[in-house]
Amino acid sequence: MDITNITTPSDLVEANAETTPLEVAMKAMEDVDYKGSRVMVEWLLTNMRTSHREMAVECFKNDDSNALPLADDAGKFDAILDILENIT
């Protein structure tokens, strides 16, 4: 919430009524069926795997000791996605 534009109690009420992107996404998840939930979970896990891979590469380039744990976590996301693929 950006409080710089709140000058009256009614402004505060309006600001509290605004939904965050996370709240919008969570509400959308409540409205989808199993297939939609599965697509979202796969998307989230794929996004996390990609982020960990990219961070691992950057750490490796900078000779950062976090490269190996990040790459290991990316592999764990691969395993989770493989398991999820076999669940009907």
Q: What is the pTM of this model?
A: 0.67
Q: Is residue 2 part of a domain?
A: no
Show the domain range for 78. Answer: 7-85
58 part of a folded domain: yes
Instruction: Please check whether residue 79 lies inside any domain of the structure.
Output: yes
pLDDT of residue 30: 86
Tens-place pLDDT, residues 50-77: 999 999 999 999 999 999 999 999 999 9
- Structure-token pair, residue 84: 């999820």
**Has residue 46 been placed in a domain?**
yes
For residue 63, what pLDDT is reported?
A: 93
- Provide the number of structural domains found in the chain: 1
Would you say residue 1 lies in a domain? no
Alpha carbons 31 and 37: distance in angstroms, whole number: 9
User: Rg of the chain over CA atoms, in angstroms?
Assistant: 20
**pLDDT surpasses 80 at 88:** no
To the nearest 10°, report the CA torsion of 50, 52, 53, 59.
150
Structure token digits, residue 83: 């398991």
